[in-house]
Amino acid sequence: MIPLSPIIHKNGYSYTQVYRGLRSCIYEQHVTPSVTYYEVFLIKISREKCINDKIIEARERFPRDEDFGYSAWTFSDFEKALRRYNELEKGDG
Domain spans of the chain? 7-90
31-44: pLDDT as tens digits: 988 999 999 999 99
Cβ atoms of residues 69 and 14 within 8 Å: no
pLDDT at 2: 92
What's the rounded Cα separation, in Å, for the pair 85 and 76?
Answer: 14
pTM (whole model) above 0.85: yes
Q: Is 40 exposed, middle or buried (0-12, 13-18, 19+ CB in 10 A)?
A: buried
* Residue whose C-alpha is closest to residue 36's, from 6, 76, 7: 76
